[in-house]
Amino acid sequence: MPSLVIIDSECANLNSVYRATVKAGLQPVISGHPDEITGAKAIIFPGVGSFTHAAQVLSKKGLDKVIMKVILKEIPFLGICLGMQLLCSESEEAANTAIKGLDLIPGRVKRFPSGLPVPHVGWNRVVPVVDHPLFSGLPAGSYFYFTHSYYVDPCHAEETLARTAYGFSFTSAVFKNNVFGVQFHPEKSGPAGLRLLSNFGKIIAGQRQK
């Protein structure tokens, strides 16, 4: 079984994530097959597009249950952009539906308030609020690339890993035990993004040694 699986949920640009993880020294495979995903030693869950559509696809393919299974195995898990938002309980984007998130990071995904240009696109600073290996070697305020109209508002402040200012300070990275999420795209963020992915690889290696 592969050591790192990038989940193919049909809702992400997988090739750019794959190329970046390889460049960062990881050995990923792309798969939507439940057996490969549950047998992996670590998971990256990228996502772009609509929360509603992605949640429906996960449910239809049974990947929501597969993700829950691998989370319970306590392997390192990194959600990227929409992949981070889907870790939450619910989204304003699906407010008039019964569609929910995975509820792994309790909280609500909210649209940026009126008056701010959306989507929030381009380079912005990311400031960790706790000392964590995922941001090891990265100066506070390093620039990462964003493209999103919604942001995560966690229920528990201690699950915020980093913040970014865009009209106000919002949560741009989360963590809870073995689960991590970043709102920005490390695969599009140059050397800083590669360093973060390399750090995730070190977290994977440390987990294997336990």
Identify the active-site residue in 90, 120, 148, 185. Answer: 185
Pairwise CA distance, residues 50 & 47, whole Å: 9
Instruction: Single out the catalytic residue among 90, 93, 159, 187.
Output: 187
Q: Is 93 designated active site?
A: no
CA distance 187 to 167: 25
For residue 61, the SS3 value is helix
**Dihedral sign computed on CA atoms, order 137, 14, 50, 60:** negative
Active-site position among 11, 81, 88, 93 = 81
Torsion over CA: 7, 8, 10, 14 (sign): positive
Active site annotation includes 187: yes
Nearest CA to 53 among 19, 7, 85? 85
Please name the helix (run of DSSP H) or strand (run of DSSP E) that holds residue 38, with its range, or none. helix 34-38
Query: Is 156 tagged catalytic?
Result: no
Q: Are 108 and 89 in contact (CB under 8 A)?
A: yes
Which residues are designated catalytic? 81, 185, 187
